[in-house]
Amino acid sequence: MSQVAHIDEALVLWLNGFVGRSAALDALMEALVSDYLVPVLSSLVLLGLWFSGSSDAERYRNQLVTLTGGIAVGFSNALVTISNLLTFRDRPFVDLDINLYFYAPTDSSFPANPASVGFAIATVVWIRHRRLGAALYVLASLWGLARVYAGVHYPTDIVGGAILGVIAASLATGLVGRLAFIPRHVFKAFRAVYIA
Domain boundaries, the chain: 3-192
The yes-or-no verdict on residue 193 having pLDDT over 70 is no
pLDDT at 192: 65
What is the CATH number that goes with domain 3-192?
1.10.606.20
How high is the mean pLDDT of the chain?
A: 93
Kind and range of the H or E element at 55? none
Using an 8 Å Cβ cutoff, are 25 and 15 in contact? no
Please report, rounded to a whole number, the percentage of residues in the chain having pLDDT higher than 70. Answer: 95
**CA nearest to 19, candidates 159, 152, 160:** 152
pLDDT of residue 1: 66
Fill in the DSSP letter of residue 182.
Answer: H
Q: Which residues contact 20 (CB under 8 A, 6 or more apart)?
A: 26, 99
The average pLDDT across 22-30 equals 94
Q: Is the pLDDT of residue 185 over 70?
A: no
Is the pLDDT confidence value at 53 over 80?
yes
d(CA 31, CA 12): 19
The pTM score is 0.92
CA distance 59 to 77: 27
How many C-alpha atoms does 112 have within 13 Å on its Cβ side? 29
Measured CA to CA, the distance from residue 57 to residue 80 in angstroms comes to 34
Quick one: DSSP state of residue 163?
A: H
